[in-house]
Amino acid sequence: MEKFIINNNVRMMRFHNGEMTQKDLADAVGVSRQTIVAIEKGKYSPSLELCFKLSIVFNKSIDEIFSIEYKK
Amino acid sequence: MSAQEKRSLLNLVFSILFTVVYGIIVYIKYNNGDFDTSNEMRLWSVIILIFIPISIAARIVATIMFSIINSIANEIKGKDDEDLDFYDERDKLIELKSTRVALVVFSLGFILALSTQAFGMSVAAFFLTMLGFGLLSEVIASIYIIIIYRKGA
């Protein structure tokens, strides 16, 4: 299988949800603010459970929040 | 500094401080002749068996005190109170990775400790190697956690 990286639109989703702060999002999904920072920077890939929680908070499907990009 | 980094730093400082203080107390008592030194194996076993529960109790007290001081400091600064005991999935993953690092270091220490006996060194050398690598594994694991949090990974 080709190698890929996981991108996300969490920062943009927060913006479209009334400029939700990282702390507000962290509280909503039950993680620390540092975890949200790491996800937004693409340095941490969340568990499937956290992905679902994010999709519920943003009212979007998981593939609208996360996408993969194949490495060339 | 985040709550997670503070927690690791507390663990790092406490491990070094407590082991050094306990080591000094044991050394002074040993020099004063407070211990029965006829059976070295028994002596070292007692020293380590006492060290373990005292270390756990002291760590709990230190964590509680630090949480109180941290809450007061946050209150004064007007910051949102960060829960030092809060663990999420990323914290657990980082802790697992640091435990693996600690285990590797301690295993190395155990092999070295066994080697001291294979080469006919004293029982003290065996236990000191074990204690030394026990401390080293905790220090390295704490530093590893702080580095990972600093990198934001």
Output the average pLDDT for chain B: 88
Residues of A in contact with B152 (CB under 8 A): 34, 37-38, 41, 43
Residues of A in contact with B8 (CB under 8 A): none
What is the residue-wise DSSP string for B33-62? T-S--S-HHHHHHHHHHHHHHHHHHHHHHH
Tens of pLDDT, residue by residue over B70-80, are 888 878 877 66
- pTM, full prediction: 0.81
Q: B153 by DSSP, 3-state: which?
A: coil
Complex ipTM: 0.84
